[in-house]
Chain A
Amino acid sequence: MNDVSANDAPSPRLLRIALLLSLLLLLIALALFTLSLRVTTFGGNAGQTVTVTSDGCHPQHLEVPAGRRTFTVVNHSSRAIEWEIIDGVMVLAERENIAPGLRQTLSADLAPGHYTMTCGLLSTPGGTLEVVASADGPPPPSTADIIGVLAEYRVSTILQLRELHQRIDTLAAAISDGDNEAMRHAWLAARRSERQLALVLDLLAEQDGDSSADNPLSADLQQLEKGLFESNASVSTTAAINRLRENLEHLTPPLKALSIEPSQLADTSAGLLRHWHDRQRSAGEPAALAVNDLAGLTHGVDSVVRLLTPLLEPRAPDVLQQVRAALSALQASLADDTTTGTSAIQRLNERSLALADALTGINPALDMHASATPPEAAESP
């Protein structure tokens, strides 16, 4: 505008050009603004858009890399829909009640595999979602995964405690009835329940600074064992069962609230099996009672393995395979009660040790380490 002197008003033509230029700038700014909005809405290059019409999903087939993925679902049908990602029969992620004409986003952590998508009506054919492995393999278990496992372990502890309670009540009733056969039977059942809970009982005893001795319930049960199975023992079974019931009452609240580290599941299980193995070889206690103990311990290990299976499956299928093979071998030996005697005991010795060894492979495979500070929820990826 150098040619416009102070006396001269700007020519209408110049004014019009300036106006047009500023309008243009405004439009560019608006476009940039909209573009930036779009980028945030669609989650950058990770976003996939699926349009649902009355005849299904468009596209019908999607392929994404493993990891956290974002989907934008657009409802172009005439009714409210839900859109789900389904793994077999399990709903992994869903957005419900997307009204006609609207769009919704959802994010899900996806492991490699084949999934289906629901596309409107249940009778409308679903789409397929292929999740391909990324080069750097699956990430270590998330905080949410760990919380899930620990909560589930808490639930199984509480349910097993209820069972132990019932079995000890049955044992007490048999003792007051004075029926020897029923007493022994009930003792064996109660002891299996207690051994199934050995992991938490031991950890609680450790936290109370009492790691050397047996946990109180185990000690009480062993006192009772002497009274019930050894003919010449002078043990007051009534006093022993009363002490057992008192200790159970006393230990139940802290057991229900016991906080454990994820790495202790596999490690403590392995330790318990080794301890059984070593004691069995040195103490030479009656084989039937030792086998009964091992049956209880193996039940406990089984629930730990079930819990860790979903974490191991995508990350260390070989470790999982070894653990499962060792566990079923031991379970098969325990179930085979037709062959008692030294060769059967020998086999249980070998197989309990083999399972302990397989279990020690779990923590390194899941990147879980002993005595780490508890993970913080805020650090979830």
Chain B
Amino acid sequence: MKMHSLKASLMTAAALVLMALNVQARAAVSAEQLVTPIAEYKLYVLDNLDQLVDHTRRFTTAVEQGELDRAQSLYAPTRVYYERIEPIAELFADLDASIDAREDDYEHGVADPDFTGFHRLEYGLFHNDSTDGMAPYAKGLMSDVNDLDSRVRDLTFPPSTVVGGAAALMEEVAATKVSGEEDRYSRTDLWDFQANVDGAREIFSLFKPLVAQQHPDFVARVTKNFGDVEKTLAQYRTTPDDPASGFVSYDEVSQADRHALAGTVTVLAEDLSTLRGMLGLD
């Protein structure tokens, strides 16, 4: 009995010490310090939106003018700018659905009248190998992207969404990119994959200075895992290791590399999900 109560009080004391340490650790990041990286992140998103508007204009013009080859080649490079800023873009439920939903999100699949956007165009361009009937979807996509651009400009970014965005992007990769279901007709999944990694890495880099001192192991582990993922991805560029070149078809990715990527990305998602707590934003 005595032993038990001694043990209990020891544990209570330990818990109190831990709580005190925890409070101190969290107070080390002041609200003021968070303003800069969040503002920088919005500027990053705005730059990518400019590019998205620009590329979407070229892509949808090619579709409307019936230039199949050009439209096919512009599909993946255009999506990159959406995939990088997905944590913010998907905050608008209506536009996320009309721009980026997949056929499985609808009861009637490809035939569903509400199925529009990138993946509806992907189905036409890569499954049917045709631009026939695609002009209305191209027009709709352009107007949705313009709408997204103006809404994001007016949006005050919620700090916890920004910080949580790094993990959200990696979860997205783990859930839908590694399986190859995102771009099932074009097989351009690696473009999206890289763009999600870019977006997550941007967030990590912006907030890293605030946690580097207190959590050096976390920073080292995440940096190494990002490096590993990018190294594997770089092997599948059309000109290997040339960051300016595109990617080969997802079909060419070996089973071993798919497994390795899945593992690293899952660890990244788990690690990055602790960033919010480290910054006192949970």
**Residue of B29, B31, B105 touching A121 (CB-CB under 8 A):** B105
Interchain nearest-CB distance for A291 vs B (Å): 27
Cα of A91 to Cα of B31 in the assembled complex, Å: 24
Contacts A144-B160, A374-B32, A375-B31; is A154 near B39 (CB within 8 Å)?
Answer: yes
Which residues of the other chain, B, contact A152 by a CB distance below 8 angstroms? 39, 42, 156-157
For window 150-204 of A, CB contacts with B under 8 Å fall at 150-152, 154-155, 158
Q: What is the 8 Å Cβ interface bit string for chain B, positions 7-19, against chain A (1 contact, 0 not)?
A: 0000000000000
Q: What is the 8 Å Cβ interface bit string for chain B, positions 21-41, against chain A (1 contact, 0 not)?
A: 001001101111111101100
Which residues of the other chain, B, contact A237 by a CB distance below 8 angstroms? none
Interchain nearest-CB distance for B163 vs A (Å): 10
Cα of A143 to Cα of B31 in the assembled complex, Å: 7
Q: What is the 8 Å Cβ interface bit string for chain A, positions 111-132, against chain B (1 contact, 0 not)?
A: 0000000100111100000000
Contact between A96 and B175 (Cβ–Cβ < 8 Å)?
yes
Per the CB 8 Å criterion, the residue count for chain B at the interface is: 46
Contact between A148 and B171 (Cβ–Cβ < 8 Å)?
no
Contact between A91 and B43 (Cβ–Cβ < 8 Å)?
no
B159 within 8 A of partner (CB): yes
For window 168-188 of B, CB contacts with A under 8 Å fall at 168, 171-172, 175-176
Contact between B112 and A123 (Cβ–Cβ < 8 Å)?
yes
B94 within 8 A of partner (CB): yes
Contact between B31 and A147 (Cβ–Cβ < 8 Å)?
yes
Give the size range of A's interface with the partner: 35 or more
| Chain B interface residues (CB < 8 Å from chain A) | 23, 26-27, 29-36, 38-39, 42-43, 46, 90-97, 101, 104-108, 112, 114, 154, 156-160, 168, 171-172, 175-176, 279-281
| Chain A interface residues (CB < 8 Å from chain B) | 79-80, 84, 86, 89-91, 96-97, 118, 121-124, 143-144, 146-152, 154-155, 158, 257, 259, 306-307, 310, 374-378, 380
Q: Report 28 cross-chain contacts, Cβ distance below 8 Å, ordered by A residue.
A: A89-B92, A89-B94, A91-B96, A97-B171, A97-B172, A118-B93, A122-B105, A122-B114, A123-B114, A144-B158, A144-B160, A147-B159, A148-B158, A148-B159, A150-B32, A151-B34, A151-B35, A151-B157, A152-B157, A154-B36, A307-B156, A374-B30, A374-B32, A376-B280, A377-B27, A377-B30, A377-B279, A380-B280
